[in-house]
Structure 1
Amino acid sequence: MSEWKRGCQIATDMAWGKCNTKSDVQPLAYDDVREHTDLGSQHAILATHQAAQAITGCIDQKAKGKKVSKPTFTAPTVKYDTRTMTLFDDDTVSLSTTESRVRCDLALPDADNGYQRQYLDSDEWSVTESTLTARDGDYFLHISFRRPKNDTERNTAEDGTVLGVDLGIENLAVTSTASFVSGRELTHDLREFEKVRAGLQQTGTRSAHRTLEQSSGRELRYVRDVLHRASNAIVDEALRYECDVIAFEDLSHIRDRTGASWGHRWAFRTLYEQVEYKAEAEGISVKQVGSAYTSKRCAECGFTADENRATRNDFQCVKCESEANADYNAAKNIGMRYVRRGQQSSRRTGNSQLALKSGTVTPSGGFTAHPEGFEAEFMDKPHPPRANPSG
């Protein structure tokens, strides 16, 4: 618990006065939390999320005219999620610690009809984030459950909010809500690993073969960790904007992307798969749409031309003269393509909209401002490049 509190404090100290969303605090503080605590990778992520939640709470209190100060973490608690905690049918629970997993007995009421049983024994409810608390020498696990929306509660693909996502080299992922996940360090390390592998393969000795296997293992672990954090950031963004669908471009065309190595193509597929299973656990669908002309089409007026791509990173429509980051423009096109597909379905009753940073927009141009009052859409700009991709 001391390591958890230290991790939360490190993340808070780094983010205080700078940012307050999970997708911003995580890439800012994750590496420092990992370096200066004994927390595992997932608990380090949860610590940054706890810091983001605490800072957001301060912002909310300040908006109500109350005095606030930087949060400090003294409570003897630790957060757990489905990747750090497992419940078993024999009334035991497995919890991640700084050293290993420990399996503990759950002290539940003797009566089979205790209120806990309706959640533990029901297929309708699933475990979400939970909190372990130490009190007077005992440990209390406060388990949270979620029930997925039923058919009448859930928006259909044709009647929901869509988050568009563009994948690339310079930016690993960009969303239609202007969340940028930098891909520079991933690109650099993939190239370095390729150089090492090429040299070792030329050597051909038994020792070189062992070194090659070790190098490949390190690469795989690093890339999966980067993608794990990036996929969390994308799902967090979808939850933040209450999206029902996350739309990606058709991954079968990724091989044609300029500068996309085999490593990048594998990374894109893996990222999609991670987002898919994490999003579906939250009741969010993940879909693919055709990618034709999404990089050349103006998301504002619809004009499509090669000349719209002034540079690799900049989009400038030669017709309406609107300007945007090229990946951000593509993300909005991808999301809107899925929205339009819903309107063209056999139901023809689609009432979906695209999630933007400033609100939501329909194909007909109808705009609804986001309740949090984000700045106008034309002010959306990418975040500065980050040392480690996350979101």
Structure 2
Amino acid sequence: MADTEYCRRTAVTGLSVSPTDATRLRELVEEWKRGCQLAVNEAWGVCHTRSEVQQLAYDVLREETDLGSQHAVLATHRAAEAIKRARDGGEKPEFTAPTVAFDTRTMTVFDDRTVSLTTTRERVRCELDVPDDGGYQTEYLDDERWEPAKSALHYRDGEFVFHLGFRTPRPGMDPPTEGATVLGVDLGVENLAVTSTARFFPAGDLQHRREEFERVRASLEATGTRSAQRTLRQAGYRLDQQVGHRLHEVANGIVAETDRYDCDLVAFGELDEVREMLPDAGPYHQWLFERLLSFVEYRAAERDIAVVEVNPEYTSQRCMECGFTHPQNRNLDAGQFECLKCGASANDDYNAAKNIAFRCVRRGPLSSRGLGAAACALQSGVVTPDDGFTPYAELSEAPKSD
């Protein structure tokens, strides 16, 4: 079964680790960081896909580190992901975070709520510190429908924390018919996401936190002490937690719009093309977009809502009112769209989101998957190619931004 056909969840737990096992896990953390860096050094400027990096760097990791065969494979994959995010002018990645990836070959989860983990030497078996009241973790640990999947071990402040991944096949759902209504979503730098129903999700807080972290990192790296390095790792972990929380909020908000406007389909611009069309976007934004799309996908699947990507070309330049397309319709400095032909004006991201939805409608059904849409959802009605705009009979007031 393809990886995209699963819903995924993560249960975060502490680990009860003996002193001997703690030493082995710390050794693994150090070898993992070294292995990832070796893989980056081998592949930087040469290749970036998982298969290519693995083929190029696997033997080097096996010869120069104490990583087992499967952890060497996982380290090359992690290096490939980092290289991909840092392409197009980014700096070569450096692996300093005390985090190790695991999969079902390098870990085993037992019914007694212990986990066996591969190290550079013998395996260790640790108890999962599940809360006394059960906690949300038991929802996945005790339900046979959820199977263990890709996970991560984090070491911070002298403690080990395990992000235990689970997956379950996506619920079977009938694909939308050609009469489906689609919600368009535009991704950007100033607004992380804007829907065709005029719901805005600003990116200002994420950008501010990122800039603060970069300033802190520059200062701590200049200091260079062990204490500074430890503080930097803690700051990076907090940033990851904050970003993840915000992306979950945005994903929930987008899916809530599908409920409110009775949509069967969500359309995004193709991520690779979106990245190229945004002059201020960098690898960090590409990473944000990819994570947000994955969060929306598994939430939408739970509601039998499909998620597709469409070609976003000219969606920022096309007038949704008259169809006139021109680069000067969009004022990048003001964040406004104003049609040179008919004079219609709107927020440029909102205009693009409407065009993404309309692009999904105009391209017709995808016969190979049975997906199709007849109308795109707007704030006050729906638009179809044949009937034009039809206002909603009744709709309660909705939030315009989050």
TM-score normalised by the shorter chain: which range applies?
Answer: 0.5 to 0.7
Cα 1:252–1:230, aligned 2, differ >3 Å: closer, same or farther?
A: same
The answer to whether 1:102 aligns with 2:142 is no
Q: Distance in 2 between matches of 1:358 and 1:352?
A: 17
Alignment of 1:86-235 (within 5 A): 100=131, 102-103=133-134, 151=174, 155-156=176-177, 158-235=178-255
Aligned amino acid, residue 368 of structure 1:
T
Aligned match of 2:61: none
Aligned amino acid, residue 265 of structure 2:
V
Match of 2:316 among 278, 285, 295: 295
Cα 1:334–1:213, aligned 2, differ >3 Å: closer, same or farther?
A: same
Aligned match of 1:372: 394
Q: Distance in 2 between matches of 1:374 and 1:323?
A: 25
Q: Is the 8 A contact 2:176 2:371 kept in 1?
A: no
Q: Distance in 2 between matches of 1:299 and 1:101?
A: 55
Deviation string, structure 1 residues 112-135 (Cα, Å, up to 9, x no partner): xxxxxxxx9999xxxxxxxxxxxx
Shift of 1:305: 1.0
Aligned amino acid, residue 336 of structure 1:
F
The answer to whether 1:356 aligns with 2:387 is no
Shift of 1:311: 3.8
Shift of 1:365: 4.2
The answer to whether 1:337 aligns with 2:368 is no
Deviation string, structure 1 residues 76-116 (Cα, Å, up to 9, x no partner): xxxxxxxxxxxxxx9xxxxxxxx946249xxxxxxxxxxxx
Does the residue aligned with 2:376 lie in a helix, a strand or coil? strand
Deviation string, structure 1 residues 244-300 (Cα, Å, up to 9, x no partner): 111011111343322224332211111111001111111111111112111111111
Misfit runs of 4+, over 6 Å: 120-123, 346-349
The answer to whether 1:242 aligns with 2:232 is no
Does the residue aligned with 2:194 lie in a helix, a strand or coil? strand
Q: Distance in 2 between matches of 1:219 and 1:373?
A: 38
Cα 1:301–1:231, aligned 2, differ >3 Å: closer, same or farther?
A: same
Shift of 1:371: 3.0
Q: Distance in 1 between matches of 2:372 and 2:246?
A: 36
Deviation string, structure 1 residues 31-83 (Cα, Å, up to 9, x no partner): xxxxxxxxxxxxxxxxxxxxxxxxxxxxxxxxxxxxxxxxxxxxxxxxxxxxx
Aligned match of 1:269: 290
Shift of 1:343: 4.9
Q: If the length of structure 2 is used for normalisation, what is the TM-score?
A: 0.54
In the alignment, structure 2 segments of 5+ residues that lack a partner are: 1-110, 112-129, 136-142, 147-169
Aligned match of 1:40: none
Cα 1:226–1:101, aligned 2, differ >3 Å: closer, same or farther?
A: farther
Aligned match of 1:26: none
Aligned amino acid, residue 268 of structure 1:
F
Aligned amino acid, residue 307 of structure 1:
Q
Shift of 1:372: 1.7
Shift of 1:350: 5.3
Comparing 348-357 with 161-170, greater Cα deviation is found at 348-357
Q: Is the 8 A contact 1:163 1:354 kept in 2?
A: yes
Does the residue aligned with 1:301 lie in a helix, a strand or coil? coil
In the alignment, structure 1 segments of 5+ residues that lack a partner are: 1-89, 91-98, 105-119, 124-146, 385-390
Q: Distance in 1 between matches of 2:373 and 2:244?
A: 36
Q: Distance in 2 between matches of 1:101 and 1:177?
A: 44
Does the residue aligned with 1:159 lie in a helix, a strand or coil? coil
Q: Is the 8 A contact 1:357 1:374 kept in 2?
A: no
Q: Distance in 2 between matches of 1:333 and 1:176?
A: 8
Does the residue aligned with 1:239 lie in a helix, a strand or coil? helix
Cα 1:359–1:148, aligned 2, differ >3 Å: closer, same or farther?
A: farther
Q: Distance in 1 between matches of 2:389 and 2:131?
A: 50
Deviation string, structure 1 residues 119-155 (Cα, Å, up to 9, x no partner): x9999xxxxxxxxxxxxxxxxxxxxxxx97864xx63
Larger strand fraction of residues: 2
Comparing 321-330 with 301-310, greater Cα deviation is found at 301-310
Aligned match of 1:260: 281
Does the residue aligned with 2:331 lie in a helix, a strand or coil? coil
The answer to whether 1:251 aligns with 2:282 is no
Cα 1:165–1:366, aligned 2, differ >3 Å: closer, same or farther?
A: same
Identity score, percent: 49
Q: Is the 8 A contact 1:303 1:317 kept in 2?
A: yes
Cα 1:267–1:344, aligned 2, differ >3 Å: closer, same or farther?
A: closer
Deviation string, structure 1 residues 322-372 (Cα, Å, up to 9, x no partner): 000000000001111111122585899955210111121112343332232
Aligned match of 1:282: 303
Q: Distance in 2 between matches of 1:243 and 1:363?
A: 17
Cα 1:276–1:349, aligned 2, differ >3 Å: closer, same or farther?
A: closer
Aligned residues: 242
Shift of 1:233: 0.3
Q: Distance in 1 between matches of 2:132 and 2:193?
A: 33
Q: If the length of structure 1 is used for normalisation, what is the TM-score?
A: 0.55
Alignment of 1:31-70 (within 5 A): none
Aligned match of 1:388: none
